[in-house]
């Protein structure tokens, strides 16, 4: 039953549509009557938290991109340095890990071999392991000291969607929990952010409801062989995930660039008509990303902008604009990825690709 498409043409589309529920379940089932986060599966005490001097986030693929957002949340709220690493690199680099290190392992399936091997490596060096996973009783869940389950429900499509948004929500919750416990955030701000996260569920639904606009964007770029995603700050992380989605399901070669870095080489790739999707959700970086869009536009790019409602300034530079509902920049990553998932999905469908089982890919990679 849970594995049926429930009337959707593909699992990927069904799972994109399940995100509002995934966000609500992950968050609200873990709030107590007074609105505080209770992390029932996590036994980290205040003393243990005080002892942590560094956090590593280790994961592969989409989970790695969620980790990049996680770094932002933890550093901002908890004020502990965080490094994010690809699991297959982490282990062989012999990273500096000791018993004051918290290693956060992120894996939808809980079975990715590189990620599991990284977990074992860190554990052997004395780190405390906290995993964020979607599968109860998975290998990664079993071998971790603490587990935080994303309550996304089973994810069948190879391209991960709802696992990603719920992983981001999980990171925010863990960061808020740690920050409050350590007295690094006041209760008012803590409550305000929780209320904002609650609202993201309905906002994701509003994006899904505007799907027909995303079909138009997909039609405009589907015939191209190359394309680019640009972003700054949290939007750069979204650009990376958007680019991965596009490659995975539609086979268009895309790259994500930190928009400010473009001028140091990559801008040479822009030709007449090259699609460039610019993500402009971060209020403090808005002018900067708009000016980067102008740079690529002046070199012939076909610019698609993803911006917050009301920031109509982008219309002057972009060929097409998709507006997400107004949101605190801090939490925008939960929203900005959704139009990118849908654009990638529609391009794949329009091109006749095998959306749920793209060539050469596996849902869970249990080999090195």
Computed over its alpha carbons, how large is the radius of gyration of the chain?
20
From the candidates 288, 294, 357, 363, give the one annotated as an active-site residue: 363
| 364 binding ligand G6P? (CB under 6 A) | yes
Residue 115 or 341 having the CB closest to ligand G6P: 115
**Degrees (nearest 5) of the Cα angle 298, 303, 304?**
160
Of 20, 22, 61, 339, which lies in the binding site for ligand G6P, with binding defined by CB under 6 A?
61
Of 24, 26, 101, 107, which lies in the binding site for ligand G6P, with binding defined by CB under 6 A?
107
Of 238, 242, 203, which Cα lies nearest the Cα of 24? 203
Site string for ligand G6P, 1-40 (x = CB under 6 A): ----------------------------------------
Proportion of the chain in helix, strand, coil states, percent, rounded to 5: 50, 15, 35
What is the DSSP code (8-state) at residue 37?
Answer: B
| 63 binding ligand G6P? (CB under 6 A) | yes
Of 260, 282, 279, which Cα lies nearest the Cα of 331? 282
Query: Site residues for ligand G6P, window 137-176 (CB under 6 A)?
Result: 158-160
Q: Is 363 considered catalytic here?
A: yes
- Give the shortest CB-164-to-ligand G6P separation in angstroms: 8
| 238 binding ligand G6P? (CB under 6 A) | no
β-bridge partners, 257: 230
Of 42, 60, 104, 249, which lies in the binding site for ligand G6P, with binding defined by CB under 6 A?
60
Lookup: tokens for 289:
């990303």
| 67 binding ligand G6P? (CB under 6 A) | no
Of 24, 115, 238, 243, which lies in the binding site for ligand G6P, with binding defined by CB under 6 A?
115
- Give the shortest CB-20-to-ligand G6P separation in angstroms: 21
What is the DSSP code (8-state) at residue 261?
Answer: G
| 361 binding ligand G6P? (CB under 6 A) | yes
Using the rule CB under 6 A, give the single segment among 109-117, 171-179, 300-308, 312-320 that binds ligand G6P. Answer: 109-117
| 112 binding ligand G6P? (CB under 6 A) | yes
Q: What size, in residues, is the chain?
A: 368
| 109 binding ligand G6P? (CB under 6 A) | yes
**Degrees (nearest 5) of the Cα angle 358, 364, 367?**
110
CA distance 289 to 70: 22
- Give the shortest CB-157-to-ligand G6P separation in angstroms: 9
Residues in contact with 70: Cβ distance below 8 Å, sequence separation at least 6, in sequence order: 57, 82, 84, 104, 106, 167, 168, 171, 174, 175
Of 180, 244, 247, 209, which Cα lies nearest the Cα of 335? 209
- Give the shortest CB-197-to-ligand G6P separation in angstroms: 21
Residues that bind ligand G6P (CB under 6 A): 60-63, 107-109, 112, 115, 158-160, 361, 363-365
> Would you please indicate which residues are annotated as catalytic (active-site) residues?
363
């Amino acid at each position: 039953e849970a594995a049926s498409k429930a009337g959707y043409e593909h699992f990927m589309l069904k799972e994109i549509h399940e995100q509002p529920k995934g966000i609500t379940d992950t968050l609200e089932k873990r709030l107590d009557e007074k609105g505080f986060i209770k992390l029932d599966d996590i036994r980290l005490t205040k003393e243990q938290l005080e002892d942590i001097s560094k956090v590593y986030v280790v994961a592969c693929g989409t989970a790695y991109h969620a980790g990049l957002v996680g770094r932002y949340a933890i550093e901002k709220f908890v004020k502990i340095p965080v490094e994010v690493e690809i699991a297959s690199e982490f282990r062989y680099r012999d990273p500096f890990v000791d018993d004051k290190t918290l290693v956060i392992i992120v894996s939808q399936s809980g079975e990715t071999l590189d990620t599991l091997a990284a977990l074992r490596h860190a554990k052997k060096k004395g780190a405390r392991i906290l995993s964020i996973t979607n599968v109860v009783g998975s290998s990664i869940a079993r071998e971790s000291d603490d587990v935080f389950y994303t309550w996304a429900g089973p994810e069948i499509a190879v391209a991960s969607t709802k696992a990603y948004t719920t992983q981001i929500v999980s990171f925010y919750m863990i960061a808020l929990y740690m920050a409050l416990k350590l007295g690094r955030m006041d209760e008012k701000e803590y409550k305000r952010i929780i209320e904002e996260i609650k609202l993201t569920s309905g906002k994701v639904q509003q994006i899904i409801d505007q799907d027909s606009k995303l079909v138009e964007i997909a039609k405009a770029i589907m015939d191209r062989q190359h394309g680019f995603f640009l972003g700054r700050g949290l939007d750069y992380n979204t650009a990376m995930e958007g680019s991965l989605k596009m490659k995975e399901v539609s086979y268009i070669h895309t790259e994500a660039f930190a928009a400010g870095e473009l001028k140091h080489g990559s801008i040479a790739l822009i030709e007449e008509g090259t699609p460039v999707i610019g993500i402009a959700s971060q209020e403090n970086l808005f002018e900067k990303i708009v000016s980067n869009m102008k740079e690529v536009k002046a070199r012939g790019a076909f610019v698609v902008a993803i911006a917050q409602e009301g920031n109509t300034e982008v219309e002057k530079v972009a060929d097409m604009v998709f507006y997400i509902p107004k949101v605190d920049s801090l939490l925008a990553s939960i929203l900005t990825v959704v139009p990118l998932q849908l654009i990638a999905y529609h391009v794949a469908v329009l091109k006749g690709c095998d959306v749920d089982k793209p060539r050469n890919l596996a849902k869970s990679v249990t080999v090195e």
